Amino acid sequence: MEIDRKFCIAPMMNWTDRFCRYFFRLISQNALLYTEMMSTGAILYGDATRHLKMHIDEHPVALQLGGSVPSDLARACKIASSYNYAEINFNCGCPSSRVQNGQFGAALMKDASRTADCLSAMLDAVELPITIKHRLGVDDLDSYDFLRDFIGSISETGCKVFILHARKAWLTGISPKENRELPPLDYERVYQVKNDFPHLSIIINGGIANIEEASAHLRKTDGVMMGRAAYHNPYVLAGVDQLVFGSDRTIKTREQIADEFTQFVEEELANGVPLHAMTRHILGLFHGMRNGKRFRRYLTENACNANAQIGVLHEAISRVRTAIY
């Protein structure tokens, strides 16, 4: 199946779980969704089904995988391949100390040979597309020559899709949150990569806040990846299918999305899923609207109760409807 990566929603730790992805899919039918990063250890030695399962309506979804041992990555890919993912993405961009202790994430950019070995093992293990997400550089290894050589080396494995977070990473001295904000964005460097590697698919990530910005990047790259802007204000995705993918579907209202998500929540509550595990992802649905703060506050204060049921969500939505009508 051909994957259209013109618009992607980034893998976000502790956020893009299956409940979040189902919610995003209600807003956009075409965006490529990504899981949270999953380590090879979680899949090989943990509850693989719990980590990998997804609702059929989430597709297309890409799995992001973290690790640094080629044989473990190959085994994890084989296990994941039975869960109907559209692609498997290799994380070479996360700078957290926990990930560094596992010798993977952004630290792998310092060793292009090892990174290539990991990707080769993944490519050999499964028929799924294998892609890579990385930074512009790490620490003092942040010249364009370094980036060009890294991409050139990795592309020799047969990897054809590169997702570039348009910042470098500092491996020490600042937090993961600061690593998403303090290193300056350099979109021009990503554009130069596309010029130098026209045969590769280059997806740009970092600081993209709306569809207008995404459209501007699409004139110079093959795709865009939006992260936290979509999570905090998810209705920013409402026009993606029409403006990016050319769909003629009618854009759903926020209320329609809330009602459809409510039906999903009822099904999952019956399966024993706590209400808060699902509603925490929709707090920003009515961002910027009158009574949107009341919606968010009511869910925040009441969905966490151990016995919270669907009535909490109904009540939160009714507080917004009161403002609309």
Q: Which residues are catalytic?
A: 94
Strands 223-226 and 161-165: unpaired
* Cα three-residue angle 254-259-264, rounded to 5 degrees: 125
The letter for the amino acid at 140 is D
Strand 201-205 versus strand 223-226 pairing type: parallel
The secondary structure of residue 136, as a DSSP letter, is S
Which element (helix H / strand E) includes 226? strand 223-226
Task: Print burial letters for 175-209: b (CB count within 10 Å at least 16), e (below 16).
Answer: ebeebbeebebbbebbbbbbeebeebbbbbbbbbe
User: By the 8 A CB rule, do 259 and 49 touch?
Assistant: no
User: Helix, strand, or coil here: 129?
Assistant: coil
CA 190/CA 208 separation, integer angstroms: 14
* 241 CB burial (10 A radius; 0-12, 13-18, 19+): buried
Please report where in the chains the tokens 């003629």 appear, as a residue. 248
Neighbours of 132 (CB within 10 A): 25
Kind of pairing between the strands at 87-92 and 61-66: parallel
